[in-house]
Amino acid sequence: MVIDVPILSMNLDQAPLSAMLRVARVRVPCGREDQARQLEEIGFLPGEAVCVMSRGAWGGDPLAVRVGLSTFALRRDEARCIELEPADA
């Protein structure tokens, strides 16, 4: 018997440290389409490997994030716009 377990959605701001995940999509609040474009331009594209490397000491902001072969610092509100899926999806 195979039990289907639903994959819970997670945003980048919620990702555990060092977990290898993949970008599912970038979603931003209405009226902030320029922010989605900026995130996509620096490499947050569907299917791209992503990993949270560290979080800031004060409140976890900013996050050091590796996407592909590049590392960026993102604010939590930016990271919240990036939806993730398991790396093996």
Distance of CA 39 to the CA centre of its chain: 10
pTM: 0.83
Q: For tokens 């509100």, what's the residue?
A: 77
Amino acid at 3: I
Q: Extract the tokens encoding 21.
A: 């995940």
Range of the domain at 82: 16-86
**38-63 per-position pLDDT tens digit:** 999 999 999 999 999 999 988 788 99
Q: Are strands 70-74 and 82-86 parallel, antiparallel or unpaired?
A: unpaired
Residue 4 placed within a domain: no
CATH number at residue 20: 2.30.30.90
Mean pLDDT of the region 34-41: 92
Total structural domains in the chain?
1
